[in-house]
Amino acid sequence: MSARSRALSPSRLGFLEGMVALALVGVVALVTLPWLFATLNRARLSRSASETREMLELARLQARKLGMRTHVVWDAGRKRLVAFVDVDLDGSFDPARDYPAGPAFELPDPIELRGPGDPGPLGPHALEGFEPATQEAARGAVFLADGTPWRTGAFRFADPRGNILEVRVPAAGETTAIIRKWSGGADVDENWQVGGDGGRSWRWD
């Protein structure tokens, strides 16, 4: 058998075709995997904001229903948000005295509580506003017995690509929390956009 015949044998052709197929799969993976991970992280970020808004709304309704103050605070030890009825009125969650105002929400990896300009999670811009009523109180949203927010403020969440969403509790009289996206800039308290503002859609990095 000639060298040319051996080179064109079915087994060699099958091997070469397999190698070409593997190379094509690798190229497709290199192109699509970053896009896929970015899409998944955006979905996790959006879900985190939506779950937080629902938790805030539930805490507000519980406050009005029970006639008692409710809180939504960040539990750093377990990377989660906790909503609770503040039975002992100390502003912090004590499982022996207070009781949940809804299920806790654990942030999915790799989403972090982080604001613009923060070098890592729980930086100075991760929570905005929400001044606690007392020094011992945990920082977060507070709803009074009639369901109105005690102070305005926002929880801010970031994905690994720097996309940041905030869930903002507005001032009294505007009790529905809103979700806004950071659109960049030097001032961390400006350039937040509600979806569809001015006919513009959010731009994702």
Q: Which of 17-21, 28-32, 194-198 is predicted with the least confidence, judged by mean pLDDT? A: 28-32
Euclidean distance between CA atoms 77 and 138, whole angstroms: 13
Categorize the per-residue pLDDT at 78 as very low, low, confident or very high, splitting at 50, 70 and 90.
confident
Q: What is the pTM of this model?
A: 0.81
Euclidean distance between CA atoms 75 and 77, whole angstroms: 6
Euclidean distance between CA atoms 165 and 182, whole angstroms: 6
- CA-wise closest residue to 51 among 201, 179, 189: 179
Better-scored residue on pLDDT, 20 or 80:
80
Note the pLDDT tens digit of each residue in 39-76. 888 999 999 999 999 999 999 999 999 999 999 999 88
Note the pLDDT tens digit of each residue in 101-136. 989 999 999 999 999 999 999 999 999 998 776 667
Distances (CA, A) of 24 to 13, 27, 55, 131, 164: 16, 5, 46, 56, 35
What average pLDDT does range 12-32 have in this prediction? 66
Better-scored residue on pLDDT, 171 or 191:
191
Categorize the per-residue pLDDT at 33 as very low, low, confident or very high, splitting at 50, 70 and 90.
low
The domains of the chain are located at 3-49+106-199
What average pLDDT does range 171-182 have in this prediction? 80
* Percent share of the chain, pLDDT over 90: 48
Note the pLDDT tens digit of each residue in 186-202. 788 888 988 765 556 78
Task: Say whether pLDDT at 148 is over 80.
Answer: yes
Better-scored residue on pLDDT, 6 or 55:
55
3-state DSSP helix/strand/coil percent for the chain, to nearest 5?
35, 20, 45
* Tokens at 166, concatenated: 């905030």
In this prediction, residue 1 carries a pLDDT of 45
* Tokens at 172, concatenated: 């009294």
Cβ atoms of 189 and 166 within 8 Å: the answer is no
Euclidean distance between CA atoms 181 and 45, whole angstroms: 11
